[in-house]
Structure 1
Amino acid sequence: MRKWTKVKNHPNLYEYPTDQGKRFGVRRGYKDTVGNYKQFSKSGYKTWREADIVLKKFESDLALKNFDNLSADKVKLEQVWRQMVSEKERLGRWRTSTADSQKMNYDTYIKKALGNYFLSKIKRPVVQSWLDSLSQSELAHDTIRSAYGTLSLIINYAVSQELLGSNRIRGLDYSGKDAKNKSIEPIDFNKWMKCAKENLNPYDYNMIFILANSGMRRGEINGLRTTSIEIKENQITKERYAVVNIDYQRSVNEPNGGELKTKTSYRKIVMTGESVNALENSIETANLRRTAGHKDTESTPWLWVKQNGDPSGVLHLTYLCKTISTKVGIKMHPHMFRHYFATETIAHGVPQIDVMHYLGHSSVQMTADYTRPTEGASLNVSKGFSPAIPTDTEIVVQGTMYHNLYHNSNEN
């Protein structure tokens, strides 16, 4: 290896001997924004001035944050992804559910296609081609939007770490299949619930009934404890009601319980009518099962438990829905109850802002997106429309008037 010697009075410039004579090179060390030591190195110049021009161009790019021009600063998308995940988890900025969905998007749709690309190569044509390929694979539009959102999150992080000057992939178009129909007509809903009541034991039916009358997410229903519910009575009307504290969830990834989906998901809701009886009966059954199973009084008092007092499986609700759907011939899965709840409450005149808070949504637009058109709602709109078109009688009267005006004008 040829020995490089520093050029006097010219930091980061070196000279070295070759068979063709003396040559000059550049060596400049620095750390990139992910903390890795890098060295910019170029050689083969005949004069120190040529090498100095290259050095000054490098330092200019470094100062102006033109990181795409720094050939030695080649950072791959995969590196940025790992750095971002590490930071989010270290600082607790991601809830478990958020981390799981982002990791699934990256591993499923981004890693193989773009993970080995250098950041300087992640440009609009490349990403547009990737989006087009996802569309052609017949993925749902919402799935593609979610994957695109994860990629944009990585690029935004790269910008915040000064690895890129700006997010160059904003505003790209994509298609995808329409989301599955999540609407159900009230007549079918009532038929489904009737079948559930006839075929499920009272405790399991109560689980379905509370889901249907609260709009809770499946994980939130699973996360209820007997201590989450307080039965109260209105001192004036003597009406009994239940205050339900929603502050926990159980899911496939967190069977023992964990944080809710978003900050707005933490809420208290009030339930009235038959829901109060359903909650009371469920609390009683859960306590009896725990006692019969000799469960430790210090264990978590889950509302939904097995015969031996252990917590019900996190997919038990899905199993119940599938069982009844098969029997009655009307498909319902747990999240459809949430859509139905939003649709019906708004259709009956409840302000969207109130429904938003009740469901734990972060915006009214999200609540609006949850609603679905139904025949009943369309009929109400039709009945509430005052036609601007004249009636048959008015048409006859107007026709006569126009006829008289026409003849009078000719006579004049």
Structure 2
Amino acid sequence: MATTFQKCKNDKKNPCARIRCGHPWTVRYREPGGRSGRQREKTFPTKRQAEAHGNKMEADKLTGVYLDPDRGKITVATWWAEWLEAQVLKPNTLRDYKGFANNYLIPTIGRKTLAGVTPNDVQRVVAALSDAGLMASTIGTRVIPMKAMFKAAVENDRIAKDPCRGLKLPRVASKAVDPDDIPTLEEVVQIAGRMPDEYRLIVWLIAGSGLRPSESFGVSEDCHRGDVLRVYRQTTEKGDGKGNRKALVPLKHRAEGDYREIPLADWLGEEIDRHREQHGTYALAGATGLLFATGTGALLTHEGFYYYWRKVMKALGFFYKPHDLRHFFASTMLAAGVSLLEVSRWLGHHSIRITADTYGHLVPDSWQRGRKAMQDAMRTRFRVIRGETLSASEAVARTA
């Protein structure tokens, strides 16, 4: 059991004779393990505080939730480095995590101990992100590693409570795509017509199969499989962690070797064949059969393609982004009655909820179907309320 006492009373050279001397109180207890458990002491201003701490330590031992106080004395900066080293992350994700830590996490709370971090402290990290002018959606993404790090601290018995529980983030605006950001069929045709011939197929791939721009840059001839387009990589200009600034990496939300397949319209398959016949293929970044490259023969990324995209937008007076061609694909599929589940799978979204939040309002006739359903459900009830006479069939239906 924990023992509470005043050390001043046990001072052999000069023991304190006053009963209420005002000196601090010490609580002494053992860690789990009986007599072999490590003996610990902690000092408090009052006897009540010392006894309360001793009782808590004994209760924690009985319930199996006792934590070694020294394990929480590690600094946030040290624990972050230890936690990050244990993670298996893609090069781009690792780069983003390190950027967040170096610019926001470490400068704000890096010198505090894990045990000393409070909910207000982690809230200050969010405030630092907000003060830097980051969008609400970006802030929500940036704090993901911080929340994971503190959760791991709890799971590794470093701290008892997660300070990120109840963390308040800026309100994120609706993810629903603005119909004004969706180019029409005529506009897609105009954009493709203005694009240099060696990059025209990129416009058709994004608009015709819903690829992300970076995914279209990594398409190779083996992706064309009859009436199916299989994609399994994308290009990046953030590097692959091996010293290469531009690289081919796995698809977003996918592991190495994963892929997704999209139904391929006949006209798009013909465009792929035409492009390959006229422009050939490239062997770059350890891959062969790539359909696109820069004018200097390097791997094509956003950096190289956007130069031509901006010129086309200026010439046509448009303000679209390449990603808006994906919106054209999704809206076209939904207008044709394709289910949200299928569209979500073809777009490569992490979950159908993302698809629903972005495109759910574009499902055709949904508003009219909603009106009709409510009208059918309540028609006879309101006629009764108004005192109108029901037909025999309506009366039977109402009774049923």
Under a length normalisation based on structure 1, what TM-score does the superposition of the two structures give? 0.66
Q: Deviations over 1:164-221 (max 9, x none)?
A: 2232422333225637985344884335323323322223121111111111122211
The residue number in structure 1 matching 2:289 is 301
Alignment match, 2:233: 248
Q: What does 1:2-401 align with in structure 2 at a 5 Å threshold?
A: 66-67=66-67, 70=69, 73-88=72-87, 93-132=88-127, 134-135=129-130, 138-176=133-171, 178=173, 182-185=177-180, 188-230=183-225, 232=226, 241=227, 243-254=228-239, 255-263=246-254, 266-287=259-280, 300-307=288-295, 309-371=297-359, 373=361, 381=367, 385-386=371-372, 388=375
* SS in structure 1 of the partner of residue 86 of structure 2: helix
Q: 1:178 to 1:80 in 2, by over 3 A?
A: same
Supply the distance in 2 between the matched residues of 1:142 and 1:188 (Cα, whole angstroms).
Answer: 24
Q: Deviations over 1:7-31 (max 9, x none)?
A: xxxxxxxxxxx99689xx99x9x9x
Q: State the SS of the aligned residue for 1:244.
A: strand
Q: Which amino acid aligns with 1:193?
A: V
Is the 1:339–1:370 Cα contact (8 Å) retained in structure 2?
A: no
What is the TM-score with the length of structure 2 in the denominator? 0.68
- Count of residues in correspondence between the two structures: 342
**Percent of aligned positions with the same letter in both sequences?**
19
CA distance 1:136–1:85, change in 2 (3 Å): closer
Gaps in structure 1 of 5+ consecutive residues: 1-17, 31-38, 45-53, 233-240, 390-397, 403-412
8 Å CA contact 2:183–2:324 kept in 1: the answer is: no
Bigger mean CA deviation after superposition, 177-186 or 337-346 = 177-186
Aligned partners of 1:344 and 1:20: how far apart in 2? 90
Kept in 1, the 8 Å contact 2:181–2:324? The answer is no
Residue ranges of structure 2 left out of the alignment (5+ in a row): 1-10, 16-25, 32-37, 44-52, 240-245, 377-384, 390-400
After superposition, what is the alpha-carbon deviation per residue over 1:280-301, rounded to whole angstroms, capped at 9, x for unaligned? 12222342x65xxxx79x9622
Assess if the C-alpha contact under 8 Å between 1:223 and 1:302 holds in 2. yes
Per the alignment, do residues 344 and 141 of structure 1 end up closer, same or farther by CA in structure 2, a change over 3 Å counting?
Answer: farther
Is residue 266–residue 360 contact of structure 1 (8 Å, CA) maintained in 2? Answer: no
Q: Could you say what secondary structure the match of 1:371 adopts?
A: helix
Report how far residue 266 of structure 1 moved: 2.2
The 2-side partners of 1:378 and 1:248 are apart by 32
**Aligned counterparts of 1:43 and 1:159: Cα–Cα separation in 2:** 22
Q: How far, CA to CA, are the matches of 2:337 and 2:99 in structure 1? A: 39
Residue deviations 1:102-136 (CA, integer Å, cap 9, x gap): 33333343222222221123222322344345446
1:269-320 superposed Cα distances (whole Å, 9 cap, x missing partner) = 2211321122112222342x65xxxx79x96221102456543344233333
Match of residue 11 from structure 1: none
Deviation at 1:358, TM superposition (A): 1.1
Letter in 2 for 1:328: L
d(CA) in 1 for partners of 2:42, 2:120: 33
The 2-side partners of 1:187 and 1:83 are apart by 45
SS in 2 for 1:194: helix
